[in-house]
Amino acid sequence: GAVVSQHPSWVICKSGTSVKIECRSLDFQATTMFWYRQFPKQSLMLMATSNEGSKATYEQGVEKDKFLINHASLTLSTLTVTSAHPEDSSFYICSASGQSSDTQYFGPGTRLTVL
Amino acid sequence: GENVEQHPSTLSVQEGDSAVIKCTYSDSASNYFPWYKQELGKRPQLIIDIRSNVGEKKDQRIAVTLNKTAKHFSLHITETQPEDSAVYFCAASYIAGTASKLTFGTGTRLQVTL
């Protein structure tokens, strides 16, 4: 149980384009989803927290207009990187947690490369 | 906000030896401390967690200890095996019913040599 998937697993795009990443909880309802970014050989940095049906809460320094998060259902959250630039290249990982649970289950991550 | 420090950044042990990774946290309100194992290019996987109402928890070769007064917690791996080689992250969070954001340590790269 507690499986989280992400799509795509990797994506290469040109500078200036937008990229959408999906995060799905496959066998449970995720009331809360988290989006992290991880640069090579570094730790996971929380970007934002999203609760189903409400606006995401962004961490300090994360531009909400650049990283659009939607959590429209209890099994799906999306992260859209708008007008991507090479410095946005990173490993993006989501995690999900169900109601009355304090455990976060991580997705497999999406490697974004912006040329 | 919460700040988590983790040491050492790299650790090399021989197969069969024990490995210890230590973390300290700054926010005394934190009450949930998970440990994650991440292999290269893969997702972090929860290996053990501890809540602030206990001082120690063990699961086979893995144990975690928590000292609330000193605000530090440690991961202990005994009888290490090559498949234990990975990056380990500690994290801290304040939980009040449902999941709350995790603050991660900087990670420890564990290498188990034959």
Residue A105 has pLDDT above 70, yes or no: yes
pLDDT at position B66, please? 97
Q: Which of B32, B45, B107 sits opposite A102 (nearest CB)?
A: B32
Residue with tokens 């069969």, as numbered in its chain: B16
pLDDT class of B70 with cuts at 50, 70, 90: very high
User: How far, in Å, CA of A2 to CA of A62, rounded?
Assistant: 28
Residue A1 has pLDDT above 80, yes or no: no
Q: Which of B46, B104, B105 sits opposite A103 (nearest CB)?
A: B46
Residue A102 has pLDDT above 80, yes or no: no
Helix (H, G, I), strand (E, B) or coil at B82: helix
The whole-chain average pLDDT of chain B stands at 94
Q: Which amino acid is at B20?
A: V
Residue A99 has pLDDT above 70, yes or no: yes
The CA radius of gyration of chain B, in Å to the nearest whole number, is 14
CA dihedral A100, A103, A104, A105 (to 10 degrees): -110
The whole-chain average pLDDT of chain A stands at 93
**End-to-end Cα spacing for chain A:** 37
For chains A and B, count residue pairs whose Cβ atoms are closer than 8 Å.
Answer: 58
The mean pLDDT of B89-109, rounded to a whole number, is: 89
pLDDT class of B84 with cuts at 50, 70, 90: very high
User: How far, in Å, CA of A29 to CA of A99, rounded?
Assistant: 8
- Which two three-digit tokens encode residue A73? 């259902």
Can you say whether the dihedral through the CA atoms of B98, B99, B101, B105 is positive or negative?
positive
Inter-chain residue contact B99 with A100, CB threshold 8 Å: no
